[in-house]
């Protein structure tokens, strides 16, 4: 295996370096070991951490005699560029290991990709280097790559070196990481030497105290997380000094994120529900509330109170939760910055979305075309691609914390991982498409009224019933259309939005999907909400474009129209939202079944697969509505 070719601008080229600044592969020479080991001790002497030692390779290279080749210098540079990666205190299992262990990596080359020459160098240096940092690094590499058959011996050598290296000038943080690595190695090889184990524990406690004294909490968190980890045997004693250190550290800082770290360790140590765990949680939540009280920016205040309320709820602190919620509700108003922009939509877009609508000769023909329009949110597949592109194009979207606010300037939820951010980006794309197509749908309804007048409720109901829909739902849809045409948009939405859930339920009952939650004990039997019902429709072949439209329009990840109406927050609904609500209701109402004999499940699934694609006898929107003479006229459908 040959060593990867890498550029090293920080190391000046020597006469033996290849052209164009490329590095020749390192070649092991046993005669060079004493000189290289002396050089390694020199770069570690006075270094504050292994990376600092690596950066001194070029500076101190003249001290080696004869001069080191560029490949030798780069081999040593790589040796000290590996990072001890230690788990954070919020992770239940404490671990520490040298990284990068696996490729791809060029600087430093991944340990498992190192050449035989490099491996032989590391093994050879263990017999010659004297500085504890150098010994710890070389012996740890030997252990990690199993360069000696006796891994226990290499682990013991690394542990002794890490213990010896746990003093200045090495920084507190690197000393803490080294002690945790020694602790991990001792467990990895089941080291039963009480003297060594006690030495590791005492060094950790000393470092934790020093860390708190010097105002640097992170080394203390690192080592205390290891000290409170469960012992390998039940007989291992609990050290009360560790509890004292945790309590002291918890009270030593005012920053919430630091307090949260130590409170997490105390809860893990004392056990949830214990008095000590509750005291730590109270201190944490009180610190969050104190930050909210001290803040001056309205958005920061709301965010801090929201986090405090969520934490208090999680920890079962009802009094502090009430206090945080009260603060959130009374927080000063947020001054939102509104960015306005104008987009001129070409008229041909309207005709593409509702083909033939402007040429319709009577209201039934126009309404049939309106009822055959595609999902206002667009194609789910295309929207998902667009959302991925948008997410990748924005660095801030991926890095910044994002909180979604609802009416009243109250935070609804914080976006978590990549899945949350992708869902949010997808909803944004869908809402933009819904806004445009919603305007088309609203404009079309206004044009229908202006050209043909408002149809009677009886005529509307008769027209809608030709789809085979359930009469009560068809009646509600006909009434909602009439309310729209007299500009009672609030009343239109309050009437028709609940019918969307009713239509969903009716379809699932027809499919005999088990969804009713039976009464258990004091709980009342009931059907679940729309958010639980829509996935069941999808499982029965419901068009995913329409499912996404319903979800984004009605549920809380999107416009949340259903909940806003149900809880009295939907005031002054406009014509666009009302048109979208009518479209959402129509797609489900018109595929319900008013025939007492019913359909078999296969017919229902076929209809759900293409909910706007059938005819009068197919259980979908009527394409051949009755004329006054009783004849039928076939109208064009949207494609």
SS3 labels along 20-58:
HHCCCCCCCCHHHHHHHHHHHHHHHCCCCCHHHHHHCHH
Statement: residue 22 has pLDDT above 60: no
| Direct distance between the N- and C-terminal alpha carbons of the chain, in angstroms, rounded to an integer | 60
What is the per-residue pLDDT for 3? Answer: 38
**Among 210, 212, 291, 286, CA closest to 247:** 212
Query: Residue 97: what are its φ and ψ, rounded to 5°?
Result: -155, 160
Which residues lie across from 413 on neighbouring strands?
404
What is the per-residue pLDDT for 482? Answer: 95
Statement: residue 563 has pLDDT above 90: no
Q: How confident is the model at residue 107 (pLDDT cuts 50, 70, 90)?
A: confident
For the chain, which residues make up each domain, given as ranges? 19-246, 357-516+527-618
What is the per-residue pLDDT for 619? Answer: 32
Residue-wise pLDDT for 118-157, tens only, equals 999 999 999 999 999 999 999 999 999 999 999 999 999 9
What's the whole-number average pLDDT of the chain? 85
Residue-wise pLDDT for 473-532, tens only, equals 999 999 999 999 999 999 999 999 999 999 999 999 888 887 765 444 555 456 678 888
**Among 622, 596, 589, CA closest to 472:** 589
What is the per-residue pLDDT for 333? Answer: 83
Q: How confident is the model at residue 19 (pLDDT cuts 50, 70, 90)?
A: very low
Statement: residue 173 has pLDDT above 80: yes
Share of the chain above pLDDT 90, in %: 62
Question: Which residues, 6 or more positions from 265, have their beta carbon under 8 angstroms from its beta carbon?
Answer: 89, 221, 224, 225, 228, 246
Q: How confident is the model at residue 600 (pLDDT cuts 50, 70, 90)?
A: confident
DSSP H stretches of helix in 488-592: 489-510, 530-539, 544-554, 561-566, 575-589
DSSP H stretches of helix in 145-193: 151-164, 172-188
Residue-wise pLDDT for 391-430, tens only, equals 776 544 544 555 665 655 666 656 556 677 788 888 889 9
What is the per-residue pLDDT for 90? Answer: 81
CB-side neighbour CA atoms (13 Å) of 595: 13
Model-level pTM? Answer: 0.65
Question: How far is Cα 575 from Cα 342, in angstroms, rounded to an integer?
Answer: 19
For 363-367, what is the mean pLDDT?
Answer: 95
**Among 32, 76, 34, 70, CA closest to 54:** 76
**Among 597, 562, 594, CA closest to 581:** 562
Q: What share of the chain is helix, strand, coil (3-state, %, to 5)?
A: 60, 5, 35
Q: In Å, how far are 192, 229, 237, 238 from 234, measured between CA atoms?
A: 15, 12, 8, 10
What is the per-residue pLDDT for 180? Answer: 97
Question: Which residues, 6 or more positions from 294, have their beta carbon under 8 angstroms from its beta carbon?
Answer: none
Question: How far is Cα 223 from Cα 151, in angstroms, rounded to an integer?
Answer: 24
Query: Residue 403: what are its φ and ψ, rounded to 5°?
Result: -120, 130
Q: How confident is the model at residue 345 (pLDDT cuts 50, 70, 90)?
A: confident
SS3 626: strand
Neighbours of 292 (CB within 10 A): 23
């Amino acid at each position: 295996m040959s060593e990867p070719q890498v550029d090293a601008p920080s190391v000046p080229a020597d006469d033996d370096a290849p052209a164009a600044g490329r590095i020749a592969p390192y070649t092991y020479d046993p005669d060079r070991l004493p000189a290289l080991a002396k050089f390694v001790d020199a770069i570690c002497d006075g270094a504050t951490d292994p990376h600092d030692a690596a950066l001194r390779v070029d500076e101190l290279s003249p001290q080696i005699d004869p001069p080191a080749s560029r490949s030798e210098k780069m081999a040593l540079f790589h040796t000290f560029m590996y990072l001890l990666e230690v788990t954070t205190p919020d992770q239940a299992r404490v671990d520490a290991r040298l990284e990068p262990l696996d490729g791809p990596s060029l600087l430093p080359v991944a340990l498992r990709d190192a050449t035989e020459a490099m491996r032989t160098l590391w093994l050879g240096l263990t017999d010659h280097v004297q500085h504890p940092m150098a010994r710890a690094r070389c012996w740890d590499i030997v252990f990690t790559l199993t360069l000696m058959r006796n891994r226990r011996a290499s682990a013991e050598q690394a542990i002794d070196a890490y213990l010896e290296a746990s003093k200045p000038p090495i920084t507190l943080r690197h000393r803490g990481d080294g002690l945790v690595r020694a602790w991990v190695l001792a467990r990895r090889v089941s080291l039963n030497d009480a003297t060594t184990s006690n030495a590791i524990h005492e060094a950790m406690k000393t470092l934790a105290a020093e860390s708190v004294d010097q105002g640097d909490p992170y080394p203390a968190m690192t080592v205390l997380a290891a000290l409170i980890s469960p012992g390998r045997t039940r007989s291992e004693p609990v050290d009360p000094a560790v509890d004292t250190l945790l309590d002291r550290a918890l009270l030593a800082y005012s920053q919430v994120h630091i307090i949260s770290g130590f409170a997490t360790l105390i809860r893990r140590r004392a056990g949830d529900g214990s008095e000590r765990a509750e005291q730590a949680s109270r201190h944490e939540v009180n610190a969050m509330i104190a930050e909210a009280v001290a803040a001056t920016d309205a958005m920061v205040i709301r965010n801090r109170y929201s986090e405090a309320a969520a934490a208090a709820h999680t920890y079962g602190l009802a009094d502090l939760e009430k206090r945080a919620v009260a603060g959130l509700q009374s927080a000063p108003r947020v001054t939102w910055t509104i960015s306005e922009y104008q987009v001129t939509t070409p008229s041909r877009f309207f005709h593409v979305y509702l083909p033939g609508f402007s040429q319709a000769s009577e209201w039934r023909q126009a309404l049939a075309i309106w009822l055959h329009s595609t999902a206002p949110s667009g194609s789910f597949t295309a929207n998902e691609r667009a959302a991925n592109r948008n997410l990748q194009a924005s660095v801030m979207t991926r890095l910044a914390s994002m909180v979604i606010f609802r009416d009243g300037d109250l935070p609804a939820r914080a976006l978590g991982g990549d899945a949350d951010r992708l869902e949010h980006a997808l909803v944004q794309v869908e809402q933009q498409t819904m806004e445009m197509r919603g305007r088309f749908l609203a404009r079309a309804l206004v044009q229908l009224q202006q050209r043909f007048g408002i149809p009677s409720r009886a005529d509307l109901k008769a027209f809608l019933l030709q789809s085979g829909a359930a009469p009560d739902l068809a009646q509600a849809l006909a009434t909602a259309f009439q309310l729209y045409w007299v500009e009672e948009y609030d009343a239109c939405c309050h009437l028709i939005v609940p019918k969307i859930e009713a239509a969903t339920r009716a379809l699932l009952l027809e499919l005999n999907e088990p969804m009713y939650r039976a009464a258990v004990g004091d709980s009342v039997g009931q059907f679940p909400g729309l958010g639980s019902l829509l996935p069941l429709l999808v499982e029965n072949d419901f068009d995913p474009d329409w499912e996404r439209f319903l979800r984004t329009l009605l549920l809380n990840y999107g416009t949340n129209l259903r909940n806003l109406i149900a809880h009295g927050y939907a005031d002054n609904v406009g014509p666009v939202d009302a048109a979208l609500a009518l479209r959402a209701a129509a797609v489900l109402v018109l595929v319900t079944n008013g025939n007492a004999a019913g359909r078999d499940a296969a017919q229902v699934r076929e209809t759900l697969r293409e909910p706007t694609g059938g005819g009068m006898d197919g259980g979908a929107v009527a394409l051949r509505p009755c004329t006054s003479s009783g004849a039928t006229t076939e109208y064009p459908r949207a494609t």
